[in-house]
Amino acid sequence: MRILVVGAGGVGGYFGGRLLAAKCDVTFLVRPGRAAQLARAGLRIRSPAGNLDLPAPPTVLAGRITRDFDVVLLSCKAYDLDGAIESFAPAVGKDTVILPVLNGMRHLDVLTERFGPAPVLGGQCFISAVVDSEGGIVHMNDMHSLTFGELDGSRSTRAVEVAGVLAAGAFESRLSENILPEMWEKWVFIAAGAGMTCLMRAAIGDIITAGATDLIGAIIEECAQIASEAGFPLAPSALDRTRATLTNPSSRLTSSMLRDVERGGRIEADHILGDLLHRAGASAPKSLLRIAFAHLKAYEARRAVGE
C-alpha cells in the first residue's frame, strides 16, 4: 500500500517513521522547510521503544502530488485541517482511505463533507511525542498506539488490509469495530483534562491539592452527559478510568493544550471544547465547560493582538 503521511511532526513523524523503518511505502507530505530539514538531517526518532535514524525519508510538497495514494494518514492539528485537506486532496482517488487521528469529532464532518463518507475512517492515537529544536522526534512515554475502524462498525476488507500494513510498524495498532464510541471516550477525557488544567493553569495533582476535586468531577460529568445525549454514553469502566486519572492527587499530568498555552502557541480550543459545547445546545450556557472555553478564547484573543 502507498501511504501518504500528512506532516512529519510528533505524531505523523513517529508513526510514519516506524512504518518506513518496516519497509512500508511511506511518503511524507511536508512544507518546504521541513522537507529541506529531513533531506539534510534525516528523520530521527528517540523513543523508549527503540531509536531510529532514517536518512532522507521520501517527501512531497503540496502542489506536487501526481498520483493517488492508498492510505492518507492525517495527523495535523485541528487548526491546520483546512489547509491540510487542500494539500492532500490530489492524493485521494476512488479507492483511497483517509485515516485521521485528530482529537474530537468535527474533523469527521469536515472530511466527509469534502470527500464524501466512503473514504473516511475513524481513528485515534495515544502518544506523547514532540519535535525537538533540531527537528527530531522525541517520544516521551511508553504509549504509542493507533486504533482505527470503519465508521459504521463493519469489518471491511479494506480495513483488514490497512490493519495488516499497520501491524508491520513497531507500535501498537488495532482494528476496532467500535471506533466512534472509543473516540467519544477519548474526547470526554481530553476535554475535561484540558478544560480544567488550562482553567487552573496547573497539573491535576495541584488542582486536587487546592481542594477542587469537585470541580474536576463536575466537568467530567458535564462532558460525559454531552456524549450520552449525542448517543454515545460512556461505558462505566471508561468513566471510572477518566475519574481515576483526573483525580489522582499525586499526578503531574497536564494537557498538551496547557503546554501550548504556556509557550504562547496556537491551541485547539474550538475543536476540543468549543465543538463539544456546540453539541450540548441549550444545556451549555451556565456550564463549567463554557467557562473553561471562554478562558481559552480570551487567551486566543490576547495572543492575536500580541500581548
Do 167 and 297 fall within a single domain?
no
Q: What is the mean pLDDT of residues 94-121?
A: 97
pTM for the predicted model, two decimal places: 0.94
Do 87 and 127 fall within a single domain?
yes
Among the candidates 159, 177, 195, a domain finishes at 177
Q: Which of 166, 169, 84 is nearest to 123 (CA)?
A: 166
Do 192 and 161 fall within a single domain?
no
Q: What is the mean pLDDT of residues 225-241?
A: 95
- Which of 23, 77, 94, 186 does the annotation list as catalytic? 186
Lowest-confidence region among 102-116, 164-178, 273-287: 273-287
Q: What is the mean pLDDT of residues 90-109?
A: 97
Do 294 and 235 fall within a single domain?
yes
What is the CATH classification number for the domain harbouring 121? 3.40.50.720
Percent of the residues in the chain that have a pLDDT greater than 90, as a whole number: 96
Do 143 and 258 fall within a single domain?
no
Whether residue 6 contacts residue 123, with contact meaning beta carbons closer than 8 Å, is answered with no
pLDDT tens digits, 256-289: 999 999 999 999 999 999 999 999 876 666 689 9
Number of structural domains the chain divides into: 2
Q: What is the mean pLDDT of residues 70-91?
A: 96
Q: Active site includes 186?
A: yes
Residue 239 has pLDDT above 90, yes or no: yes
The cell for 266 is: 496556537
| The three-state (H, E, C) secondary structure of the chain, written as one string | CEEEEECCCHHHHHHHHHHHHCCCEEEEECCHHHHHHHHHHCEEEECCCCCEEECCCCEECCCCCCCCEEEEEECCCHHHHHHHHHHHHHHEEEEEEEEECCCCCHHHHHHHHHHCCCCECEEEEEEEEEECCCCCEEEEEEEEEEEEECCCCCCCHHHHHHHHHHCCCCCEEEECCCHHHHHHHHHHHHHHHHHHHHHHCCCHHHHHHCCCHHHHHHHHHHHHHHHHHCCCCCCHHHHHHHHHHHCCCCCCCCCHHHHHHHCCCCCCHHHHHHHHHHHHHHHCCCCHHHHHHHHHHHHHHHHHCCC
Among the candidates 132, 147, 177, a domain finishes at 177
Residue 114 has pLDDT above 90, yes or no: yes
pLDDT tier at 154, thresholds 50, 70, 90: very high
Among the candidates 177, 197, 215, a domain finishes at 177
Task: Identify the pLDDT of residue 307.
Answer: 64
Q: What is the mean pLDDT of residues 105-118?
A: 97
Do 142 and 21 fall within a single domain?
yes
What is the CATH classification number for the domain harbouring 247? 1.10.1040.10
Do 134 and 164 fall within a single domain?
yes
Task: Identify the pLDDT of residue 281.
Answer: 76
Do 68 and 114 fall within a single domain?
yes
Do 37 and 172 fall within a single domain?
yes
**Which residue would you say has higher pLDDT here, 198 or 307?**
198
Task: Identify the pLDDT of residue 284.
Answer: 60
Q: What is the mean pLDDT of residues 39-67?
A: 96
Residue 228 has pLDDT above 70, yes or no: yes
Do 166 and 196 fall within a single domain?
no
Do 149 and 22 fall within a single domain?
yes
pLDDT tier at 306, thresholds 50, 70, 90: confident
Residue 66 has pLDDT above 80, yes or no: yes
Range of the domain at 173: 2-177
Do 130 and 216 fall within a single domain?
no
